[in-house]
């Protein structure tokens, strides 16, 4: 793999998705550990890391979670500690490319391949991987670095994605 032209995109590892947050997901601690390991391995390989943060659109009223200024909207501290220099792309939709700086950031980095991980598998991860803007990249989703509300929905989402993108584990993708 051409690591210098591959970007690791870490989507929505934010406090509201963890046990003390407003919408805790399934298997978060394991996914957090795997994402931290993926970031560390990417850095060793010289692969850029991009963090994506969802912030609710305040013009639509108070959202159930990810409200600006809340503790829950913050990117998990272990992710920030693992990638303190990573650019942060802020989004308000499931697709991380939609009305964000992601495409410009990838262009600046010269990225041609994307390794995507994060939360929620069936929503933001899938919408980003299948975004019309993602068609210009070779896309893979790190299967062991994603989660959602429960194991069944996670498995269904990965199965649906499998016909369009590769689903390697961290060990397979960043060997």
- pLDDT per position as a tens digit, 69-123: 999 999 999 999 999 999 999 999 999 999 999 999 999 999 999 999 999 999 9
Place of tokens 């670095």: 145
Q: Can you tell me the distance from the alpha carbon of 61 to that of 56, in angstroms, rounded to the nearest whole number?
A: 9
Given this model, what pLDDT does residue 53 score? Answer: 98
Q: Which residues of 7-36 are buried (b: 16+ CB within 10 A; e: fewer)?
A: bbbbbbbbbbbbeebbeebbebeebbebbb
Q: pTM for this one?
A: 0.96
End-to-end CA distance of the chain: 9
- CA-CA-CA-CA torsion for 73, 152, 28, 94, nearest 10 degrees? -30
The 8-class DSSP code of residue 14 comes to B
Domains of the chain: 3-173 (3.40.50.850)
């Amino acid at each position: 793999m051409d690591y210098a032209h591959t970007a690791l995109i870490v989507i929505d590892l934010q406090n509201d998705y963890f046990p003390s947050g407003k919408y805790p997901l399934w298997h978060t601690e394991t996914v957090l550990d795997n994402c931290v390991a993926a970031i560390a391995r990417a850095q060793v390989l010289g692969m850029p890391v991009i963090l994506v943060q969802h912030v609710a659109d305040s013009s639509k009223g108070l959202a159930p979670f990810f409200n600006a200024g809340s503790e829950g909207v913050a990117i998990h501290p272990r992710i920030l500690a693992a990638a303190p220099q990573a650019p942060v792309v802020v989004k308000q939709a499931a697709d991380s490319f939609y009305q964000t700086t992601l495409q410009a950031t990838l262009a600046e980095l010269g990225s041609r391949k994307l390794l995507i991980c994060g939360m929620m598998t069936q929503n933001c991860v899938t919408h980003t991987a299948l975004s019309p803007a993602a068609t210009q990249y070779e896309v893979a989703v790190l299967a062991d670095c994603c989660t959602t509300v429960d194991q069944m929905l996670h498995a269904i989402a990965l199965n649906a994605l499998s016909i369009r993108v590769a689903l390697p584990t961290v060990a397979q993708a960043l060997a």
